[in-house]
Structure formats: C-alpha cells, structure tokens
Amino acid sequence: MSASESSLENDALRDYPLLAKIDGPADVKRLRREQLDDLATEIRQYMINTLAPIGGHLGAGLGVVELSIALHRIFNSPQDRIVWDVGHQAYPHKILTGRLRGMPTIRQYGGLSGFTKRSESEHDPFGAGHACTSISSAYGMAVARDLQHTDKQIVAVIGDGALTGGMAFEGLNNAGTGKHRMLVILNDNEMSIAPNVGSMSAYLARLITGKPYTQVRDATRKVLEKLPGAYEAARRLEEHVKGMVMPGTLFEEMGFRYVGPIDGHDFNHLLPTLENCHDLDGPILLHIVTRKGFGFAPAEEDPETWHGLGPYNIESGEPVRSEGKPPTYTQVFADTLADLADKDERIVAITAAMPGGTGLSSFAKRHPDRCIDVGIAEQHAATFAGGLAVEGLKPVLAIYSTFMQRAYDQIVHDICIQNLPVVLCMDRAGIVGADGATHAGSFDIAFLRCLPNLTMMTPKDEAELADMLLTALQLDGPSAIRYPRGNGYGVEIRTPQALPIGKAEILENGKDGLLIAVGTLSRAALQACEALRKQHGKRLSLINLRFIKPLDEDTIIAHLRNKRPLLVVEEGSAQGGIGEAIAAVAARAGWHGPFEHIGIPDAFPEQGTQAEILRDLSLDTAGISAALHRLFNIA
C-alpha cells in the first residue's frame, strides 16, 4: 500500500477509533467489556456510511451487530465454525474478520462478495447466498468433527425469514436426533415466534444454561430413568413449565435444548448465555430477538425496502431514485399482471418471500386476496400452484431464476407431468450483477427446455414481456417466461397481444449469414448487424427467437444459407442451452458453415455490474461484433 493510500484509509477510519484496531477476532477479545457497546455503534455507523454510495444488504447486517461481536468474543473462529445462513447477515462478521478495509468494494467488480464465500476468508466455513442451508451444513461439520475426534464448536446462525423454509426443518429434524454438539442461533428479527423478550425470559435463559441447573437436570435424569415412567413424566412437566414462559416446545420435541428468547441487542444477555451454551453438550437452539435495521431509523421503519438496495441518502433516509429511466422488467410484469387480473378473477399471484423483489407488492395493493406469499418455500410454492390450477384458477408463480432451481422436482412432478396451466415467471434471468454466482440466472433454459408439456418464452423488450404474459395465461398447460433484471428500453407498452405459439420474429433479412438472438440480447445483436452492414457490406438475417420451446425450426431452416455463418447468442448457460439445440437443427437440415455460440461459459459468473459481466462474457454489442468478424474472417 502506498503512503497516499494509507493516508486515505486512515482518514476513512478516523471516526472509528475502536473499529480501526480490529484486524481479526483476537482484537475483539482484547477489548474491555465496557468498550463493546461503543464498538457496536461504530460498526453500525461505518456500515451506514460505507454502503450509502454503493448499496447492499444493510438491514439484516445492522440487526446482528451485537451478535457478531458476541460470537467472536466467545468463540474462536476460524477453528470454531460460525455458519451464517443466506450470507447477507454477515457484513459485521466480515468487518470483524479482517475485511474491514475491503468493505467499500463489497458487491463491486473484483471486490468482496456480498455473501459468505470460502475462497474469500478462512472465517467463512460455508458459502451461502440462498436461504435455509446453515443448519444442514453445520450439522455436517459437527458429525465430521466427531468422526475425526477433533474439538471445535459449530454454530449456525439462521434468521431473516429463513426458518420459513422446509430445508431448515429438515436440518433441525436430523440434527436433533443425532445428539451431536452444535449451537443453532435463531435470529428472530420479525417477532414472528415470540414477543416475550425481557428480563424474566433473559433470566430464565441464563438459568437453564447455567451449571447448577444443568447439573441438577442431568443428575435427576439418571435417577428417574431407573423408575418406570418417572423420567418421561418429569420431562413432560419440565417442557410444560418452560412452555408457559417460552415458545421452545417445538424445538425441544425435535431434540434441541431450547434457550431464550433473549434480547439480541443486549450484551448483558448475549455474552453470559453464549458462554453457557459454549459448554453444553448436544444440540442447542438459542432464540434471540433482534430488530432488522437496528440503529438506522429508515431501515427499522421499512425493513423490506432496506433489506437490500442500491445507493441511498443518509440524511434523508431515502434510496437514490433513477430519474427518467424506463420501467424495469419487474415493474412491467407486475403492472401487466395486475391489469390482466382486473379482467380475470381466476388469476392468482404467488411469491416465495419476495413480494418486493418480484414486483408483487404493487399487485397485492390491487388484488390483496389473490397475492399469496408462501415464505422461503419454493418447493411448496410450485406444488401449491399446481393445486390452484387443478381447481380452475390461473396461478402465476413469480420467483427469481436462481431460486426456481429449488423447486425443480415439483415443476417436473407436480406441474409438467400433470400438464397443469401454471405460469412460471422467472425474474433476474441471466446475469444479475452485484450478487454474483449465487444469484445468477444461468441455468433455467438448460433445466426447463427439456421438460415435456412446457412452453418457454423470453422477450426482446418490455412490450414483448407483456405479450408473453397474456400468451402464457391463455395456454392450457405449463409455461415459463424468463426476463432480466433492470430497466427496459423505453418502448411503448401497448395493450398486450397474444403471440402465435412457437413462432420466432424476423428482425432482419439477409443472405450473408444468420444471427439468432435470445431475449434482450436482440438489441445488441441488431446493433452488431448494423455495424457489420455499414462497415463491411454484410447483410445478415436476424431472428428474435422468442420461444425457447417449442423451437421454430422452420424459420431457422428457412434462413440458413449453406456455407454461410451461423451465430447464436444467449444470456444463459452455453452447456445445455438453446444454442446446442439450434446447432442440432442446422445439422439435421444438412447445413454446413462456420458456427459460433456465445453463452455463459462452463463457469460461475463473477460479481460486478451487468454491463461489466456481459462485456467479460462477450455478450454485449462489441462481443457479438467480434464473433461476427471471426466468422467472416474479418481482421
């Protein structure tokens, strides 16, 4: 680091005297107890100030500042494993584990990941970007530890709605029966399980994890187990008494010793309880209650908006709005669906804990009874949609492409095999930008185009998205529409018109070759064609594919010219993508000529802006032009 860079860094951290001294968990342990509250304040202010110009997952991180400090105070990472569910809760954890100075780069091109990432730090034992994985992975680590006869603590932190997902309960069910030592911390930031937080419940939590209670409990168990029926009666009495003052019966029945609820923002509760839990055997569930966005009033008052957002104004507490830009594809989808639902009472919208992200919050304002949020439960959402369809409704399942992966068996078994008219609307298809590999919608074309009975579409612009939504709702079988993150092109949104099923759109007609574009890449492809014509006199046919399935083989074959180039571009996985299907069509038709296919390669995309990643993958105008030059041997 140069002297000037060091000076800038020191200036940036000048307002955070405690935080500037934290290079790892050992530094947290060296602080005096009375300094921890000041450290928490500095972390919050640093996060608020650092994320303002770049955005990020602010609310969840603000809610776990005290927990993060307490965990690194009591446990010994990286030897002890601290697993953060979803990963967007982990910003304070990153700050405390040597990544403080990298935080201004978070979610930026070449910068820190917005989630936990094993290759980024030894303090991230398990990578995460999707919900509900912490308990299962932590339990795997606990079993591995015991099989290898090592001594380490395993901690899983789950919250921010992740307990609504079935996989979390699968993990609890298995871990509870295994009796391996591990700690699950339920970060309840919505007061969804228990509002009973205060001095009494905190006192009880410390009491039942303390040595006197534990020693008496274990000694009593040994005596009562020798008396027929006595131990079971005592166990039920204990659960009944605890159940009157704390909501832990469910977790106790699953095999966990339940502790809490306690105030997750109070070190006087957190530290002694974590110390006690550290010394307990078997599976423990510690229930803490926090406030999402704690310490920043706008985030506390509107946790959904401040869950994850772009740049914001600290003084006004308002996100920085993009003025004058066309509506997003998400907005066009939601507005069109709401308009169609005005005329058809059978339309029902479903989301999996993402009403804001999928646009369905606005739909819900107009049709509250027909907008259903099932929680982080994509599998259930798909089968639930099938049940609605069986009874004659028209379910529209709006889920990000990356999360639709979690419902694949249900799409196959509960929708496609039964040929049910469920519409799968996959937002964030293709490159998503700052969230990187865990959220990239790379694979939906590959995993859906192989399914019988399914019709699959992708629009070239926002107007065509509206047409496709109407088209899908008129089908008698399952359908899927994929569309990208971000703004449209500003084309006029006319009254939607149904499209002829399986028919591509011819954008340019030429004799020198064929370019097939999938979805919104049609715009970049058209620009590349125009440049080739103006600079080199080459005229290509350009097809906007529109329908991934059924594939318009007749139109493709009609525009193939033997020995003339064929280029296919798609913002999806090249492995198993539509380009492979088109190459097979051309081969069967007897076509011979130069061929190139540009898609997302056999690697997970990095993080960065969409434009940066599309550039790196040659899926922008320059990349498509370069491919055409190669095909025509133009230097």
- Six token digits for residue 360: 């369905």
Check 252, 378, 464, 612 and give the catalytic one.
378
Percent of the chain with pLDDT over 90: 69
Q: Fold identical between 3-301 and 505-631?
A: yes
The sheet carrying 541-544 orders its strands as: 505-508, 541-544, 514-517, 566-573, 595-600
Q: Which residues contact 218 (CB under 8 A, 6 or more apart)?
A: none
pLDDT at 12: 75
Reported pTM? 0.85
pLDDT at 192: 40
Q: Indicate if the pLDDT at residue 4 is higher than 50.
A: no
Task: Look up 292 and say whether it is catalytic.
Answer: yes
Tell me the pairing of strands 595-600 and 566-573. parallel
> What are the pLDDT digits (tens) for 328-373?
999 999 999 999 999 999 999 999 988 989 999 999 999 999 999 9
Q: How far is Cα 285 from Cα 283, in angstroms, rounded to an integer?
A: 7
pLDDT at 375: 87
What is the number of alpha carbons within 13 Å of residue 548 lying toward its C-beta?
34
How many other C-beta atoms lie within 10 A of the C-beta of residue 352?
28
- Give the residue, 195 or 606, on which the prediction is more confident: 606
Check 73, 99, 406, 549 and give the catalytic one.
406
Q: How far is Cα 155 from Cα 168, in angstroms, rounded to an integer?
A: 14
Q: Indicate if the pLDDT at residue 241 is higher than 60.
A: no
Q: How far is Cα 353 from Cα 375, in angstroms, rounded to an integer?
A: 4
Q: Of the given ranges (106-120, 201-215, 349-363, 530-544), which has the lowest mean pLDDT?
A: 201-215
Check 117, 145, 206, 292 and give the catalytic one.
292
Spatial contact of 390 and 415, defined as CB atoms under 8 Å apart:
no
- Six token digits for residue 228: 């027929």
Name, of 171-180, 205-214, 527-536, the range with top average pLDDT: 527-536
Average pLDDT (99-110) is: 92
pLDDT at 193: 37
Task: Look up 406 and say whether it is catalytic.
Answer: yes
3-301 architecture in CATH?
Answer: 3-Layer(aba) Sandwich (3.40)
pLDDT band of 242, cuts 50, 70, 90: low
CATH superfamily of 329-482: Thiamin diphosphate (ThDP)-binding fold, Pyr/PP domains (3.40.50.970)
Closest Cα partner for 551 from 578, 573, 590, 576? 578
- Give the residue, 402 or 59, on which the prediction is more confident: 402
Spatial contact of 582 and 556, defined as CB atoms under 8 Å apart:
yes
pLDDT at 58: 85
Closest Cα partner for 259 from 178, 205, 323, 189? 205
Q: Indicate if the pLDDT at residue 450 is higher than 50.
A: yes
Bridge partner residues of 156 (DSSP): 83, 184
The CATH code for residues 505-631 is 3.40.50.920
Q: Which residues contact 142 (CB under 8 A, 6 or more apart)?
A: 154, 175, 178, 180, 181, 182
Task: Look up 378 and say whether it is catalytic.
Answer: yes
Q: Is the dihedral of CA 352, 343, 366, 429 positive or negative?
A: positive
What are the backbone dihedrals phi and psi of residue 514, each rounded to the nearest 5 degrees, phi first?
Answer: -135, 130
What residues does each domain of the chain span? 3-301, 329-482, 505-631
